[in-house]
Amino acid sequence: MLSIRNLHAGVEGHEILRGIDLEVKAGEVHAVMGPNGSGKSTLAQVLAGHSAYAVTAGEVRYDGQNLLELSPEDRARAGVFLAFQYPVEIPGVSTAQFLKAAVNEIRTRQGQEELDAIEFLAILREKLALVEMDQSFISRAVNEGFSGGEKKRNEILQLAVLKPKLAILDETDSGLDIDALRIVAHGVNALRTPDNAMILVTHYQRLLNYITPDYVHVLFNGRIVKSGGKELALELEAKGYDWIRDEVGAVEPLGAA
Amino acid sequence: MTEVATVKDTYLAAFEAFERGGAGGSPGGLLGLRREAIARFAEQGFPTVRLEDWKYTSVAPIAATAFRLADGAFDSLPAEAIEALVVREPVAHRLVFVNGRYSAKLSSLAPLPAGARVASLAEALITDAAVLERHLARYAGSEGIGYGFTALNTAFAQDGAFVHLPSGVRVTEPIHLLFLATSLTTPVLAQPRNLIVADRGSEATIIERYAGLGDDPYCTNAVTEIVLGEGAALEHDKIEQEGELAFHVGTTQVVQARDSTFTSGSIAFGGRLTRNNLRVRFAGAGGTCALNGLYVPHGGQHVDNHTLIEHAQPRCTSRQLYKGVLDGGAHAVFNGRVIVRQDAQHTDAHQTNKNLLLSEGAEVDTKPQLEIFADDVRCTHGAAVGQLDEDAVFYIRSRGLDTQAARMLLTSGFMSDVINRITVASIREELDGLLLARLRAGQAARETR
């Protein structure tokens, strides 16, 4: 589904990703772990098409297309979804209004009928239950005045409604208390199907207690330096990231976040 | 300068003729007020940018134009143009004025609760002389510096809307006041004069709308006086859709008795130059006012909102939320003045002005002006000028909507809280449509550049 080869990218002439290789197939869940500044969020943003990052080399194929040539909206319409680390507030626009516009735009582009207000509300209600959000959420402005946990749950709600083929969750676990983490993980697990794939970008192993990945990759200084199964995450949790640095013999200090 | 003096002289001469002709059958006291007003106007003339309150808004083009005082005449009224403006669905109460004069033919009035009066001012000058004598021109003074427009209106005021709600009367259906301007060979100066008297405990919603029917230059100089009795509640929404070459100067003076509630929604779309003066005076304790405004100038439009809230009595609450969305080379001014008199303890006053600039060429001057003479009060203010949040644009695009749709969504979201405070659903829907059309036109213009 997704094939990343030798991806180099950075911001304002500063290279952050230095040759990423990653293969993701339908039905798989990949965890990308790494210390602060390793390039995890940059990878997520580059895949979603943020214009602040310039791709300097390499390629990303998604479903046979050159993903990097697509605008952010065309990526979304093709089934790519990024759950933001820092979801943005949209004052004056309700979650229901926003999601209805988004889902119908995507459906139209994928050759499906638009949902009418009643169909949409039925789906929205069902997905609200999945992330244990109150009805009142959908009439509140998107993320405005939401707590950190509410914002992350709103991302999962959007994921559930938009049903992407490839979901990238950027540090969705950060800043969550144990209950919110459980809710988010439950939502994500419920959305796993043999046809879609997920990339979980995370600093900590604890999310992986709830969502079992098929593969774990360690990102370090802009490269994937180690890949393995779910047991790799436990090893990282036990030993921290320093042993990776020793192992790869990196001489550069870890960058700041 | 000689030209300006000449134009002023024509108004002075016109007043002499008006007075000789009986001054529109003014009740006794009103004639005296007219004479005082024209004397003020003779003295002050139109305000200039040398006055602090008019620093950013030059009315020199108005002062230099020899407008013909509107006498209700019009060449022809395109029926379809009126239809487009007079809301398609019938409303219960609607007074229509063309070039400043009441049109019985275009108006409609459903039965009102006993004692309630909704009529043209011209009629009320005869039928309701006592109420007019007591209230007309008693609040929107001509004596203030830069009040030349109000003085000119008072001198000539002959028609407009008159609404009187006796004690305890509640008019459930909104009362629509529609002021239409249509072209004449000579540019017209229309001076509607409105008086709304809501006695103790009465309630109503009034929509005051100004609309141009053509692209010709004209000038509206409107004055509305609103008097709220004890515990009265009034919503007053002003929608300004003057023609693109029109000048609009509108003054709304509100006086609130004890425990009364006033809610204003002021939406400005049109005009080459718009100046709204909205002044509220708390004359009794415990009153509440909420002034909400939205202006969306584009092209070369200039829109200036000056608000003044005078907390003269204790325990009054005022809330102001004014928002602007500016495109093209538009210029907007917001000046929010709040005066808290020494006796106005426990005043709670809050003011916010937020502006969204959609283009490089747009410009805003925003100024809060707080004058506080009491010590136990809560007064806050905030002003912001900014552009669309690019992070939000990316966020929305990442959900499948294109840049254009993202910008539209953010912009309409920005405007929504002002619109949503208007309680009349049909007006909200209509405004949503008009605003969307305005935004689409702006997007289209951006794309062709």
pLDDT value, residue A115: 93
Cβ atoms of B237 and B422 within 8 Å: the answer is yes
d(CA A99, CA A152): 15
Structural element, H or E, at residue B204: strand B203-212
CA triple A22-A25-A26, angle to 5 deg? 145
ipTM of the complex: 0.94
Cβ pair A72:B412 closer than 8 A: no
Q: Do B401 and A101 touch (CB under 8 A)?
A: yes
pLDDT, mean over chain A: 90
* Nearest chain A alpha carbon to B403: A73
Can you tell me the distance from the alpha carbon of B422 to that of B442, in angstroms, rounded to the nearest whole number?
25
Pairing, β B175-181 against β B203-212: parallel
In A, what residues contact B, Cβ < 8 A?
48-51, 71-73, 75-77, 81-82, 84, 87-93, 98-99, 101-102, 105-106, 109, 141, 158, 162
As separate numbers, helices (DSSP H) first and strands (DSSP E) second, chain B gives 10, 22
| Contact in structure between A228 and A215 (CB atoms under 8 Å) | yes
- How many other CB atoms sit within 10 Å of the CB of residue B183? 20
Predicted local confidence at residue A251, as pLDDT:
47
How many Å apart are CA B125 and CA B133, to the nearest integer? 9
C-beta separation of A127 from A103 below 8 A: no
Inter-residue contact B218 to B248 (CB < 8 Å):
no
Cα distances (angstroms) measured from residue B260 to each of B163, B203, B282, B424 = 17, 10, 9, 20
Rounded to the nearest 10 degrees, the angle between the axes of helix B28-44 and helix B148-156 is 140
**Per-residue pLDDT, B76:** 57
Q: Are A96 and A125 in contact (CB under 8 A)?
A: no
Q: Between chains, do A162 and B416 touch, taking CB under 8 Å as contact?
A: no
Tens of pLDDT along A2-23? 999 999 999 988 999 999 999 9
Chain A: closest CA distance from residue B399 (Å): 6
Closest residue by Cα to residue A18 from A8, A28, A29: A8
Q: Amino acid letter at A144?
A: E
Q: Residue A143 region, left (φ>0) first, then alpha (ψ -120 to 50), else beta?
A: left
Alpha carbons B405 and B402: distance in angstroms, whole number = 5
Q: Tell which of A67, A73, A170 to mutate to test the B interface (max B CBs under 10 Å).
A: A73
pLDDT at A232: 87
A-chain residue closest to B415, CA distance = A92
- Nearest CA of chain B to the CA of A248: how many Å? 35
- For residues B254 and B80, give the distance between their C-alpha atoms in angstroms, rounded to a whole number: 35
Cβ contact A71–B397 (<8 Å)? yes
- Residue numbers in chain A where pLDDT is lower than 50: 251, 253-257
Q: In this structure, what DSSP letter does residue B22 have?
A: T
* Per-residue pLDDT tens over the stretch A68-110: 999 999 999 999 999 999 999 999 999 999 999 999 999 999 8
> In chain B, which residues have their Cβ closer than 8 Å to the Cβ of A90?
392, 395-396, 409-410, 413
B402: nearest CA partner in chain A: A73
Cα separation, A89 vs A111, whole angstroms: 30
- B320 contacts: CB under 8 Å, gap ≥ 6: B290, B291, B292, B293, B307, B309, B336, B350, B351, B352, B353
CB contacts < 8 Å between A and B, how many? Answer: 73
Mutation site for B-interface testing, chosen from A90, A104, A107, A146 by largest number of B Cβ within 10 Å: A90
Predicted pLDDT of residue A246 = 77
Are B198 and B223 within 8 A, CB to CB? no
Tell whether B404 lies on the interface with A, counting CB pairs under 8 A. Answer: no
SS (H, E, C) chain A: CEEEEEEEEEECCEEEEEEEEEEECCCCEEEEECCCCCCHHHHHHHHHCCCCCEEEEEEEEECCEEHHHCCHHHHHHCCEEEECCCCCCEEEEEHHHHHHHHHHHHHHHCCCCCCCHHHHHHHHHHHHHHCCCCHHHHHCEECCCCCHHHHHHHHHHHHHHHCCCEEEEECCCCCCCHHHHHHHHHHHHHCCCCCCEEEEEECCCHHHHCCCCCEEEEEECCEEEEEECCHHHHHHHHHCCHHHHHHHCCCCCCCCC
Distance from CA of B402 to the nearest CA of A (A): 6
Residue of A nearest to B400 (CA): A73
- Are the Cβ atoms of B400 and A50 closer than 8 angstroms? no
Chain B: residue whose CA lies nearest to A168: B398
The CB-based long-range contact list for B358-362 (8 Å cut-off, 24+ gap) reads B358/B325, B358/B326, B358/B327, B358/B387, B358/B388, B358/B407, B358/B411, B358/B442, B359/B326, B359/B327, B359/B328, B359/B329, B359/B446, B361/B328, B361/B329, B361/B330, B362/B297, B362/B326, B362/B327, B362/B328, B362/B329, B362/B330, B362/B331, B362/B332
Please give the pLDDT value at position A257: 38
pLDDT computed for residue A121 by the predictor: 93
Q: Which residues of A touch B392 (CB under 8 A)?
A: 88-90
Q: Mean pLDDT for each consecutive 10-residue tract of chain B (449 residues)?
A: 70 91 74 91 93 94 89 62 65 89 88 95 92 91 80 93 97 95 82 97 97 88 98 98 94 98 96 96 97 97 97 97 97 97 96 96 95 95 95 96 94 96 94 93 82
Residue B409 to residue A101, Cβ atoms within 8 A: yes
Separation in Å, CA of A178 to nearest CA in chain B: 27
Query: Residue type for A182, please?
Result: R
Q: Please report the pLDDT score of residue A207 as a whole number.
A: 86
pLDDT, residue A176, reads 85
Contacts for B86 with CB less than 8 Å, ≥ 6 apart: B94, B96, B106, B178
Put residue B199 in one of left, alpha, beta given phi > 0 → left and psi -120 to 50 → alpha.
Answer: beta
Q: Quote the pTM value.
A: 0.91
Percentage of chain A exceeding pLDDT 70: 96
Which letter, b or e, does each residue of B346-358 get, where b requires 16 or more Cβ atoms within 10 Å of its Cβ? ebebbbbbbbbbb
The Cβ-side half-sphere exposure at A121, using a 13 Å CA radius, reads 6
Domain boundaries along the sequence of chain A: 2-248
Whether A84 sits inside 8 A of B403 (CB atoms) is: no
Task: Choose among B397, B412, B416: nearest Cβ to A73.
Answer: B397
The three-state secondary structure class of B425 is: helix
CA distance A151 to chain B (A): 13
At A188, phi and psi to the nearest 5?
Answer: -65, -45
> For residues A23 and A199, is the Cβ–Cβ distance under 8 A?
no
Report yes or no: B413 at the A interface, CB cutoff 8 Å.
Answer: yes
Return the CATH number of the domain spanning residue range A2-248.
Answer: 3.40.50.300
Nearest-CA distance A240 → chain B (Å): 33
Of A72, A89, A141, the CB nearest to B398: A72
